[in-house]
Structure 1
Amino acid sequence: MSNAQTFWLENLKLADNYNNWIFAQILPHLGNSVMEVGCGNGNFTVLLAEHCDRAIAVDMDTSYVARAKSRLAHKPNVNVIQADITQTHWRSQFDSKFDSVVMLDVLEHIEDDVDLLRSLSDYLQPGGKLVVKVPALEWLYSPMDREIGHYRRYSKARLSETFNSAGFANPSIWYFNMAGIPGWWFNGKVLGRTTPGTEQVGLFNKLVPMFQGVENVLPVPTGLSLYAVGTKM
């Protein structure tokens, strides 16, 4: 993994307000059994462990898996696995299906995003939910995206087309975190940075309750991220 990816995972590990805000968006769609694809160092796996009866967390990076396992060692309802979920031999590894499959800021790292989403359907029971968070606004693509390994940022139309092509018709899609746009634009597009300053992440985390309060009561016309939820038919 790149230094930029490690920067984000380690700094967001401390961003409790932001992580809880992200998790609040997906909580209504989870169900009791969840597979998390691309768990990293377990920043969201620890939250899944508190709300799900059974969770499987998967990541291809052995060092991140080791960190996640250490953090989840006291949670018997969570199993952390090192695997490359894009490899076809993993598609028949589990006897039971899941209520939901969750990918938070993972899909943009995958070159063939449609193929991955299509394959994840195999892990869902009928009526199960595929829950995805991705970076939004294609015009905002910058050195920060490139350094972290993003193939793309998404528009609503492109994300909807990706879900439809993968067999998840008419997904529910919404913007998230409008307040994060100026910082990403200034750091990435104006300054050409590959990561923001650590102090910026901490300040943003402190301001999250205000941003969350605004987005809870007002329509969000745009945002730094997009969520999509598709249902297996």
Structure 2
Amino acid sequence: MARSTIDEVGISTLEHLSIANRLNDWMFDSIRPFTKGRILEIGSGIGNISTCFIDHGIPLCVSDYSDHYCNLLDQKFANQPLVGGVFQIDLADSDFESRYSPLIGRFDTVFALNVVEHIKDDHLAIANCKKLLSPGGHLIILVPAWQLLYNGFDKELEHFRRYNKTTVRKLFQSQNFEIIKSWYFNLAGILGWFVSGTVLRKKTLPAGQLTFYNKLVPIFRLADKLAFNSVGLSVIIVGRKSEKE
């Protein structure tokens, strides 16, 4: 069922992240080489990453579980020709194929950034993402990394878990995806997440901290390269659906 209440913590976090344009661009640049054809974003929120696609002239469809966010997306992209539709999609729906029949097999790329960790049955979430893909389509997800970093931020954001490369690869393999690539993202973010969320026990990401972080993103991007993406605050994985499915 659609969420009818307004998630104040989630909205506050997304609004703070909207000012971190360099971080959003970094996430976009990380997944862009793996996108193709008809693209659907799952969990678009207030459109932070969607806007990156639009700014680069890439058409896509957007979606969210929350009716509130869908209304915001409708308003934001009402006159945007590159947005092919705004859909309300619940990845936890056990009757997914029937409920969303017009969308089944429609997309060549489905991506979900910071979404799957909110869903208790993550195997069902990935299975439902797969149903949206055409044969040979790509699924891209970004999720928080390292259970040791689980803190008050995760609790307030209603995260069920954090992942690592092994667990996220097993998640994809359980749904018979061919894994194209998996890597860690945002090494520098670990310190800020740990200090603010674990040591200082803050419940929301501080806007001032994000503003400062945003200024240093070019340095942090270099740090990831120098570390060969061997560790990070998040983990990204790209999988391909079989051409025979």
TM-score range, shorter chain: over 0.9
Equivalents in 1 of 2:170, 2:109: separation in Å? Answer: 20
Q: Which amino acid aligns with 2:142?
A: K
The question of 1:11 aligning with 2:20 is answered: no
**Contact conserved, 1:163 with 1:171, CA < 8 A, in 2?**
no
Q: How does 1:143-162 map to 2 (within 5 A)?
A: 143-162=152-171
Equivalents in 1 of 2:226, 2:57: separation in Å? Answer: 27
- Structure 1 residue ranges without an equivalent (≥5): none
Same amino acid, percent of matched pairs: 34
| CA distances 1:105-127 after superposition (whole Å, capped 9, x unpaired) | 00000111111111211211121
Q: How does 1:44-59 map to 2 (within 5 A)?
A: 44-51=49-56, 54-59=59-64
The question of 1:22 aligning with 2:31 is answered: no
Q: Which amino acid aligns with 1:120?
A: C
For residue 166 of structure 1, give the secondary structure of its aligned residue in structure 2.
Answer: coil
Q: Alpha carbons of 1:51 and 1:117: their partners in 2 closer, same or farther (altered >3 Å)? A: farther
Q: Which amino acid aligns with 1:83?
A: I
Q: 2:237 aligns with which of 211, 215, 228?
A: 228
Partner residue in 1 for 2:131: 122
Q: Alpha carbons of 1:52 and 1:86: their partners in 2 closer, same or farther (altered >3 Å)? A: farther
For residue 44 of structure 1, give the secondary structure of its aligned residue in structure 2.
Answer: helix
- Structure 2 residue ranges without an equivalent (≥5): 1-5
The question of 1:71 aligning with 2:80 is answered: no
Equivalents in 1 of 2:168, 2:60: separation in Å? Answer: 26
| CA distances 1:36-84 after superposition (whole Å, capped 9, x unpaired) | 1111011111222345654221112122122222222232231112332
Equivalents in 1 of 2:51, 2:231: separation in Å? Answer: 29
Partner residue in 1 for 2:89: 83
**Contact conserved, 2:179 with 2:239, CA < 8 A, in 1?**
yes
Partner residue in 2 for 1:219: 228
Greater Cα offset, 215-224 or 121-130: 215-224
Q: Which amino acid aligns with 1:44?
A: I
RMSD of equivalent CA atoms: 1.8
| CA distances 1:123-150 after superposition (whole Å, capped 9, x unpaired) | 1112110000000011000011011010
For residue 48 of structure 2, give the secondary structure of its aligned residue in structure 1.
Answer: coil
Equivalents in 1 of 2:99, 2:217: separation in Å? Answer: 37
Deviation at 1:209, TM superposition (A): 1.4
Output the TM-score relative to the length of structure 1.
0.93
For residue 126 of structure 1, give the secondary structure of its aligned residue in structure 2.
Answer: strand
Q: Across the two proteins, how many residue pairs are aligned to each other? A: 233
Equivalents in 1 of 2:232, 2:121: separation in Å? Answer: 24
Equivalents in 2 of 1:50, 1:86: separation in Å? Answer: 31
Partner residue in 1 for 2:3: none
